[in-house]
Structure 1
């Protein structure tokens, strides 16, 4: 088919625009990450571009950032495991053991965000990452609280790709109360992402007052999602952060524990009332997740479990589960098989285990560790999955960034007790953005 002159000019203009964007993202890595976080927290997954298939905005931007910020970083054993996972999935796709959609999901929503997390700290500081994530999480929390108070979610009005838009733009209720979901399309995705963000809020290089405010906003917004997974992982992540992160001052711990105790006294009656009013719905939701275990019989060593939806096992018609599998681990087993799932789990666990050695603890690792319980009660839906895998890659890069002097955290405490003169970043980059001189300090 011959391409007309107007179409050729349009294509050339689009290519020129992409090149300009890449140069800007390369020259402004901090702005690039701030843009990425803004899209992750504030743009629904149904917004994106269609190039062969729908690319959600968060994934399309991640690809551009990877191209613009390509950088050599030390390899981690988990990178080899990830390479084996990708090779296995692509091989299974070639042999017909994995569908095209499942292959695209693994590559675009897992592998690409993971690589972005692995290379990011070669271009920006850990201090900048914690600050940006905290700001965007606090903003998303404010919008969620407004949504809860007004019963209005402006994000559902944003048009986008079908059937994604119609699948995720329906607001949820529990016990007759609206469950806030923000731009995440689902209250559980919002709650889980806010829970992960709480680790970054604790590590943010701010003074105590704004840090406490951000944490309180994140906690309050998680409450109004009325997601049990979000609330449990929030508490777990906050406790791990306060107990394990370097430099958290005693005053900060006391203030957080005090604010947490007050928050529990205020929120617990509300949560109990809503869950009580939900009655059979909440109980059925929990029972459904337990019933999913019957699907383990269908898991294969390699590849998709096949047409299990038409089978009856014991008292279960397995097609009942086809509408939703609220279990990331189970869904991965059914989609890719036991061996690829074991590789993916190994990568996640390697990131979570970084919370154990004192010199490798970091907020991204704590965020991943705090999410481990949620992986058996919710799938990696909407942008939650991309943010989770980004944190996995980021957690593995953090110890290297600290040992290489790639962070610009000022000496002092994470609780914010530092002088104003040392409160800013000290990163100095060359014109190419490749080399830098930084002042090291303990987080």
Structure 2
């Protein structure tokens, strides 16, 4: 039986593809910062439906992320913290459930590795190569641009991905835009308004607190991001964005002046009063849609006692069409519950322990901006599944949180970046040039110490 590689044309195409991959890897290694920006843009602006299938389906951000991670190896992690241990234990238990006990599906483990752990490793390792402050700036720029395009989508009522997928066969047909109260719910390239809003909310603490820009610039971009979560008309996305803002002001340190922290609460209160009539009118026009959604999420709590120690819940079953059910539920709108039902309550314990440590760090005022962003996401994790790019964005921030907390303790990891080394050498040379000359050098005479 002939395969594509057995033909001269197939072999030639394979060699060309391999050469392109090697060339890209060399380019990424020489220019990690532009490569990181490209990867972030793919993560936020490219739908998950545009990925290739190579034995298994690969998300676009996973394809570029694998290449980025390999190109920047082998020195991408030099120090380890408690967050790394928690993630390692959780992943080990999830993999063990499949390969040792056969109590989980291969697709569930593959999704965890390609969407969760890959993004964690990127968030955990990239700052050591490009610099943490630079990584914050890149995240702020890319997510602010996505939020601005989301606002444009709302006011224009137009999503390009819906138009491009109308019968041209390029990729799967995009689902119709969601409506609430007769208004379009913004979803950008995420394919779902909640995924878009929750992902945008993650960037609020980073933009407001972490980037080294002027306060007015940070406030403007934060306003754009929060506004984009409002036009998703997702209650949990709006809540996470506001919590990220308030937690940054109340527990954040560093680049937020005291006057801003004191004034943010009354300002948020006034803006809430101003916006609430509009939001209330939208939910009122939607009728019982939002109420039914909340009731459905509440009914999922009955599944919690049926979690297994490791692997699938005993309630798991598949329909004739291959759809996975837990009891009578096919859609589990709670990532915490879904994790326990899919991987077991023991891996879930490690995830909850990580969130508890993040909350404690925030209350002790030692939490970095990505850590605060994760704490603000707890309502979403309890009521939303990690759908489309939301999973990748969340785990990127988990990696950033672990790295930044290690750096916050005064143990910054080595930044293997040629640009950073050049800046350090230039600064050292400048200090040497500015160093005042001694009296001997100024007089040009040789002096000896008195006997």
Which bracket does the TM-score occupy, shorter chain normalised?
Answer: 0.7 to 0.9
What is the RMSD computed on CA atoms of the aligned residues?
A: 2.8
Instruction: Quote how far apart the aligned CAs of 1:228 are.
Output: 0.4
Instruction: Quote how far apart the aligned CAs of 1:238 are.
Output: 0.5
Matched, 1:53 2:56: yes
Judged with a 3 Å threshold, the aligned counterparts in structure 2 of structure 1 residues 354 and 170 are, in CA distance, closer, same or farther, namely farther
Matches within 5 A, 1:273-352: 273-306=281-314, 308=316, 320-322=328-330, 324-352=331-359
Instruction: Quote how far apart the aligned CAs of 1:12 are.
Output: 0.9
Instruction: Quote how far apart the aligned CAs of 1:63 are.
Output: 1.4
Instruction: Quote how far apart the aligned CAs of 1:237 are.
Output: 0.7
Map Cα deviations across residues 145-199 of structure 1 (whole Å, 9 max, x no partner): 1111122111234559x9x944x63311111211111111111111111111111
2:184 counterpart SS class: strand
- Residue pair 2:246, 2:264 contacting (<8 A) in 1 also: no
What is the CA–CA distance in structure 2 between the aligned matches of 1:303 and 1:406, rounded to whole Å? 35
- Residue pair 1:364, 1:395 contacting (<8 A) in 2 also: yes
Matches within 5 A, 1:129-208: 129-158=135-164, 165-166=172-173, 169-203=175-209, 204-208=211-215
Greater mean alpha carbon deviation, residues 253-262 or residues 102-111: 253-262
1:185 counterpart SS class: coil
Map Cα deviations across residues 341-390 of structure 1 (whole Å, 9 max, x no partner): 222333344345432444x4211001101001111100011111111111
Map Cα deviations across residues 14-69 of structure 1 (whole Å, 9 max, x no partner): 11111111112112222122112211221111121221111111111221121122
Matches within 5 A, 1:101-120: 101-120=107-126
Aligned with residue 72 of structure 1, among 48, 68, 77: 77
Matches within 5 A, 1:88-103: 88-94=93-99, 95-103=101-109
Aligned with residue 392 of structure 2, among 380, 386, 403: 386
What is the CA–CA distance in structure 1 between the aligned matches of 2:360 and 2:50, rounded to whole Å? 35
Matched, 1:9 2:12: yes
What is residue 231 of structure 1 aligned with on the other side? Answer: 238
What is residue 122 of structure 1 aligned with on the other side? Answer: 128
- Residue pair 1:34, 1:132 contacting (<8 A) in 2 also: yes
Matched, 1:41 2:48: no
What is the CA–CA distance in structure 2 between the aligned matches of 1:370 and 1:113, rounded to whole Å? 19
Judged with a 3 Å threshold, the aligned counterparts in structure 2 of structure 1 residues 36 and 58 are, in CA distance, closer, same or farther, namely same
| Structure 2 gap ranges (5+) | 320-324, 428-451
Judged with a 3 Å threshold, the aligned counterparts in structure 2 of structure 1 residues 405 and 328 are, in CA distance, closer, same or farther, namely closer
What is residue 373 of structure 1 aligned with on the other side? Answer: 379
TM-score by length of 2: 0.84
What is the CA–CA distance in structure 2 between the aligned matches of 1:350 and 1:52, rounded to whole Å? 38
What is the CA–CA distance in structure 2 between the aligned matches of 1:89 and 1:428, rounded to whole Å? 32
Greater mean alpha carbon deviation, residues 393-402 or residues 256-265: 256-265
What is residue 430 of structure 1 aligned with on the other side? Answer: 418
Matches within 5 A, 1:199-218: 199-203=205-209, 204-218=211-225
1:37 counterpart SS class: helix
What is the CA–CA distance in structure 2 between the aligned matches of 1:302 and 1:396, rounded to whole Å? 25
Aligned with residue 82 of structure 1, among 79, 87, 90: 87
What is the CA–CA distance in structure 2 between the aligned matches of 1:310 and 1:47, rounded to whole Å? 27
1:181 counterpart SS class: coil
What is residue 410 of structure 1 aligned with on the other side? Answer: none
- Residue pair 1:145, 1:221 contacting (<8 A) in 2 also: yes
Instruction: Quote how far apart the aligned CAs of 1:251 are.
Output: 4.4
How many residue pairs get aligned? The number is: 410
Aligned with residue 396 of structure 1, among 381, 397, 402: 402
What is the CA–CA distance in structure 1 between the aligned matches of 2:214 and 2:28, rounded to whole Å? 30
2:129 counterpart SS class: coil
What is the CA–CA distance in structure 2 between the aligned matches of 1:20 and 1:344, rounded to whole Å? 38
What is the CA–CA distance in structure 2 between the aligned matches of 1:64 and 1:435, rounded to whole Å? 26
Judged with a 3 Å threshold, the aligned counterparts in structure 2 of structure 1 residues 186 and 436 are, in CA distance, closer, same or farther, namely same
Matched, 1:62 2:62: no
2:389 counterpart SS class: helix
Judged with a 3 Å threshold, the aligned counterparts in structure 2 of structure 1 residues 434 and 12 are, in CA distance, closer, same or farther, namely farther
What is the CA–CA distance in structure 1 between the aligned matches of 2:163 and 2:313, rounded to whole Å? 37
Matched, 1:221 2:209: no
What is the CA–CA distance in structure 1 between the aligned matches of 2:328 and 2:69, rounded to whole Å? 40
What is the CA–CA distance in structure 2 between the aligned matches of 1:348 and 1:216, rounded to whole Å? 27
Judged with a 3 Å threshold, the aligned counterparts in structure 2 of structure 1 residues 76 and 405 are, in CA distance, closer, same or farther, namely closer
What is the CA–CA distance in structure 2 between the aligned matches of 1:382 and 1:241, rounded to whole Å? 27
| Structure 1 gap ranges (5+) | 312-316, 408-426
Instruction: Quote how far apart the aligned CAs of 1:274 are.
Output: 0.7
What is the CA–CA distance in structure 1 between the aligned matches of 2:346 and 2:327, rounded to whole Å? 24
